[in-house]
Amino acid sequence: MADMDAFQHVTDPPDSQKNYLVVDQKTEVSTIEGAFDAFTKQRKDIAIVLINQHIADKIRGTVDGFGEAFPAVLEIPSKDHPYDPEKDSVMKRVRKLFGE
């Protein structure tokens, strides 16, 4: 397993921006949604968005509504929440493509 520090980056000043959002139980849904929108619509330096599936569930409408090829949005499990392919927006699109 890779060290998360290897994936964390902050752009150069004066407009320093993080390429990650740490979410805990106090993080508001609007904050999560804002970060998702920034990473997928505003930032051109992000190619892949990794989001824990239980966090994606909090903004499911937004995640499912994102249909662009880039950045790729990948839902991943966390140590406390198993992965459910039935919820994954990418897997839903794949099943739809194959007529399932």
Inform me whether the pLDDT recorded for 5 exceeds 60.
Answer: no
pLDDT in the model for residue 71: 94
Using alpha carbons, select from 68, 66, 71, 70 the residue that is nearest to residue 89. Answer: 66
- pLDDT of amino acid 56: 95
> Which of 13-27, 30-44, 67-81 is predicted with the least confidence, judged by mean pLDDT?
13-27
10 within 8 A of 43, measured Cβ to Cβ: no
Backbone angles phi, psi at 31, to 5 degrees: -70, -45
The candidate with the shortest Cα–Cα distance to 73, out of 86, 84, 60, 82, is: 60
- pTM for this predicted structure: 0.77
- Does the domain at residues 4-97 carry the CATH identifier 3.40.50.10580? yes
Q: Domain residue spans in the chain?
A: 4-97
Cα gap 52→46, rounded to integer Å: 17
Alpha carbons 15 and 32: distance in angstroms, whole number: 20
Kindly indicate the confidence band of residue 1, based on its pLDDT and cuts at 50, 70 and 90. very low
What pLDDT score does 3 carry?
46
